[in-house]
């Protein structure tokens, strides 16, 4: 299974479930900063996360990768805390910190013991406004990101194939481009562009703070107000209003490079959380790919032994609609034609026959159990809320989630399968291995 797809699946599992046991509370500062809190006292730890509503979705032609490069630069210093000091301070306090960038958001976090939380307020409020973006550091870090791109994408056939899939499936929408950016854009990104980008999007009224763990909410909100309250609102911002046209016919591409095994990937344009159809698609996804008893594993991997791995998935908690994908990595001496025939057989079957009551119940059970198990980690609770908040779904999405899942019928699943898994709505990528040159 490829790294990118695996991550998407993992995240998908997280948000599948009912509301948290503890209360989710929302607070606003006058400068527009939103704070979402969940008290959870099971261990004396807190995860503190700052989510900015900016990601590769906001990037323009020629400047792809700028959101992610800025994320790296956020650790390179302000007048108050120099290069590397953020990580050093957190580590000396026994904490861990990190950051990540997606299509829709960029987020920063610290996991730290409850009594050290003030460190997070101080560091995050400082770098929300005072980033230096030193030109020398910028050039060095751009090289680091290029190495990251080589590591994650250039030298990985399946990651490259997935990059090609998005580029083919999205013509207009910025989901066309990879989060890490095209190499040629990384070569040309400037410090000035990055600084302007920072000034445009990093501001309290474009951010959400999510805190989950062992704290007292009133006390926490007062302190956050103390550190972040003085940061001014930004200028009015343009929203990204781009929607992908309906696809009118299958798109198909071959991707040829040195590789060991062929790989097939299908992408169908699918709805996001704004459309209730996504609940039925989630159950459908579990029926096809949830565990070793799922249809794709049982039929393509286990019985027919065509593929080493096969599955599918999608990510409805996205600001704009994304893809529902299916993939199969072939076994040696099996062909992509066989894999495509087997995939299509399963897709056609779920369009034609209602799923059994037991299969539907199994999918529901999996979703509900995963949700409870996901709460074992305060980090994941916060992660889930952050995603919901920054993509527009809102944490309130959780309140009705389980009810929505329980209402889905076998007929709904058949209906959405027919609605979205149309040949004309499909983009197909085939990795064709070339022999190794020596």
Partner 1 sequence: MSYKTRHIMRILPSLLIIILLWTSISLASPGIEPKRVVLKNGITLLFVETHALPMVNISVAIKAGAIYDPPGKGGVASLTSALIDEGTTTRTSRQIAEEIDFIGGKLSAAGGEDYSSASLVVLKKDISTGMELLTDILLNPVFPAEELERKKKETIAAIISERDDPGAVASKEFYRAVFQGHPYGIPVEGDEESVSRITRDDIMNFYQQFYKPNNTIISVTGDLNYKEAVSLIETSFVRWDKSRLKLPEVPPVNKVSKGDSILIDRNITQSNIVLGHTGISRDNPDYYAVSLMNYILGGGGFESRMTKEIRDNKGLAYSVYSHFDVNRFPGAFTVEVQTKNESARDAIEGIRTELKKIREEQVSDDELNDAKAYLTGSFPLRLDTNAKISNFMLMVEYYNLGPDYIRDYPNKINSVTKDDILRVARKYIDTENCVTVVVGKQEKTGLRK
Closest approach of partner 1 to the CB of residue 30, in Å: 31
Residue with smaller CB distance to partner 1, 96 or 216: 96
Q: Work out whether 258 is an interface residue with partner 1 (CB under 8 A).
A: yes
Query: Binding of partner 1 at residue 356 (CB under 8 A)?
Result: no
Q: How many residues bind partner 1 (CB under 8 A)?
A: 100
Near partner 1 by CB under 8 A: residue from 177, 206, 289, 329: 329
The single residue among 26, 44, 188, 275 that binds partner 1, judged by CB under 8 A, is 44
Burial 229-261 (b: 16+ CB within 10 A, else e): eebeebeeeeeeeeebeebeeebeeebeeebee
| Rounded-to-integer distance, Cα 378 and Cα 215, Å | 12
Region from 25-33, 67-75, 394-402, 418-426 binding partner 1, contact rule CB under 8 A: 67-75
Nearest residue (CB) to partner 1, 29 versus 48: 48
Contact status, residue 307 vs residue 300, Cβ threshold 8 Å? yes
How far is Cα 254 from Cα 367, in angstroms, rounded to an integer?
35
- Please identify, using beta-carbon distances, which residue of 378 and 413 lies nearer to partner 1: 378
User: To the nearest whole angstrom, how small is the minimum distance from the Cβ of residue 233 to partner 1?
Assistant: 28
CB of residue 411 to partner 1, shortest distance in Å: 22
Residue 390 within binding range of partner 1, rule CB under 8 A = no
End-to-end CA distance of the chain: 28
At residue 274, φ and ψ (nearest 5 deg) are: -70, -20
Q: Binding to partner 1 by residue 285, rule CB under 8 A? A: no
Which residue among 25, 116, 344, 415 contacts partner 1 (CB under 8 A)?
Answer: 116
Residue 172 to residue 249: CA distance in whole angstroms? 16
- The neighbouring-strand residues paired with 323 are 269
User: Among 172, 242, 254, 373, which residue interacts with partner 1 (rule: CB under 8 A)?
Assistant: 373
Helix/strand/coil percent split, the chain, to 5: 50, 20, 35
Q: Which of 19, 25, 39, 83 binds partner 1 (CB under 8 A)?
A: 83
CB-nearer residue toward partner 1: 89 or 395:
89
Measure the CA–CA gap between 318 and 394, rounded to whole angstroms: 11
Does 112 contact partner 1 by CB under 8 A? yes
Give, as ranges, the residues between 139 and 178 that touch partner 1 (CB under 8 A): 139-148, 150-152, 154-158, 166, 175
Q: Which of 302, 311, 412 is nearest to 355 (CA)?
A: 412
Residue 381 vs residues 30, 86, 98, 331: alpha-carbon distances, Å: 26, 24, 16, 38
Q: Does 335 bind partner 1 (CB under 8 A)?
A: no
Which tokens sit at 280?
Answer: 């039925």
DSSP calls for 12-26: HHHH-S---SSPEEE
Show the 3-state SS of 293-356: CCHHHHHHHHHCCCEEEEEEEECCCCCCCCEEEEEEEECCCCCHHHHHHHHHHHHHHHHHCCCC
Strand partners, 50: 108, 209
CA dist 48 to 25, 208, 316, 368, 373, Å? 15, 11, 25, 26, 21
- Where in the sequence numbering do the catalytic residues fall? 71
Q: Are strands 34-39 and 207-213 parallel, antiparallel or unpaired?
A: parallel
- Should residue 113 be labelled a site residue for partner 1 when binding is judged by CB under 8 A? yes
Among 298, 304, 392, 402, binds partner 1 (CB under 8 A): 298
Nearest distance from residue 320's CB to partner 1, in Å?
A: 12
- Closer of 259 and 398 to partner 1 (Cβ): 259
Residue 45 binds partner 1 (CB under 8 A): yes
Length of the chain equals: 438
Give the helix/strand (H/E) hosting 251. strand 251-258
User: Residues 403 to 432: which contact partner 1 by CB under 8 A?
Assistant: none
Query: Is residue 315 near partner 1 by the rule CB under 8 A?
Result: yes
Stretch that binds partner 1, among 29-37, 83-91, 124-132, 416-424 (CB under 8 A): 83-91
Least Å distance between CB 403 and partner 1? Answer: 18
Told to check if 23 binds partner 1 by CB under 8 A, we report no
Nearest distance from residue 260's CB to partner 1, in Å? 5
Distance of closest approach, residue 84 Cβ to partner 1, in angstroms:
6
**Counting contacts by CB under 8 A, is residue 47 touching partner 1?**
yes
Q: Does 180 bind partner 1 (CB under 8 A)?
A: yes
């Amino acid at each position: 299974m490829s790294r990118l797809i695996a991550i998407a699946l993992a995240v998908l599992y997280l948000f599948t479930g009912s509301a948290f046991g503890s209360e989710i509370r929302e607070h606003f500062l006058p400068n527009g900063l939103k704070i979402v809190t969940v008290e959870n006292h099971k261990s004396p730890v807190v995860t503190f996360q700052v989510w900015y509503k900016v990601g590769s979705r906001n990037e323009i032609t020629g400047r792809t990768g700028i959101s992610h490069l800025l994320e790296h630069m956020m650790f390179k210093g302000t007048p108050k805390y120099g290069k590397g000091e953020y990580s050093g301070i957190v580590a000396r306090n026994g904490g861990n910190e990190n950051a990540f960038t997606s299509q829709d958001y960029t987020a920063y976090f610290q996991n730290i013991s409850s009594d050290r939380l003030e460190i997070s307020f101080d560091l995050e409020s400082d770098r929300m406004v005072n980033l230096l973006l030193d030109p020398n550091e910028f050039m060095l870090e751009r090289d680091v990101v290029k190495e990251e791109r080589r590591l994650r994408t250039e030298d990985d056939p399946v990651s490259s194939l997935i990059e090609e899939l998005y580029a083919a499936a999205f013509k207009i929408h910025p989901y066309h481009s990879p989060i890490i950016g095209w190499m040629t854009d990384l070569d040309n990104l400037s410090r000035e562009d990055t600084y302007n980008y920072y000034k445009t999007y990093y501001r309290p009224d474009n951010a959400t703070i999510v805190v989950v763990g062992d704290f007292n909410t009133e006390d926490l909100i007062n302190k956050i107000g103390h550190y972040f309250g003085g940061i001014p609102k930004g200028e009015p911002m343009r929203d990204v209003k781009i929607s992908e046209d309906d696809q009118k016919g299958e798109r198909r591409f071959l991707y040829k490079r040195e590789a060991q095994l062929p790989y097939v990937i299908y992408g169908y344009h699918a709805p996001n959380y704004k459309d209730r159809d996504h609940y039925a698609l989630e159950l459908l996804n579990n029926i096809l790919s949830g565990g070793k008893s799922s249809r794709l594993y049982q039929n393509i991997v286990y019985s027919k032994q065509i593929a080493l791995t096969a599955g599918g998935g999608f990510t409805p908690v996205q600001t704009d609609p994304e893809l529902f994908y299916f993939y199969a990595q072939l076994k040696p001496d099996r062909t992509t034609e066989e894999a495509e025939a087997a995939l299509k057989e399963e897709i056609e079957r779920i369009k034609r026959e209602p799923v059994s009551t037991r299969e539907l119940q199994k999918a529901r059970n999996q979703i509900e159990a995963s949700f409870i198990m996901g709460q074992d980690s305060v980090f994941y609770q916060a992660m889930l809320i952050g995603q919901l908040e920054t993509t527009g779904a809102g944490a309130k999405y959780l309140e009705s989630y389980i009810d929505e899942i329980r209402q889905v019928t076998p007929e709904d699943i058949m209906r959405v399968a027919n609605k979205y898994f149309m040949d004309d709505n499909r983009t197909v990528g085939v990795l064709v291995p070339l022999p190794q040159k020596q």
